[in-house]
Amino acid sequence: MAVNAKKVAVYVVVVFGLYVIITDPRTAADYVLIGFQGVSDAASALGDFATWVANGGK
């Protein structure tokens, strides 16, 4: 049952993504940019944390 719910959820997300891309590509590009910016910020924060830990928490 859980596998079917997961498949349905993935299908809904894919269909919604295609709908947004087809109907408003500029907004879809903005969403992708926001996503990549979030990943970049998270990686930067992890790097800062690792540097802080490597320096003994100073």
For residue 53, pLDDT beyond 90: yes
For residue 17, pLDDT beyond 90: no
The tokens for 18 are 């295609």
Distance, CA of 45 to CA of 37 (rounded, Å) = 12
Q: What is the pTM of this model?
A: 0.61
| Confidence band, pLDDT 50/70/90 cuts, at residue 50 | very high
The pLDDT assigned to 1 comes to 59
Residue 28 — φ and ψ, nearest 5°?
-60, -40
Percentage of residues in the chain having pLDDT higher than 70: 97
The tokens for 43 are 């990686």
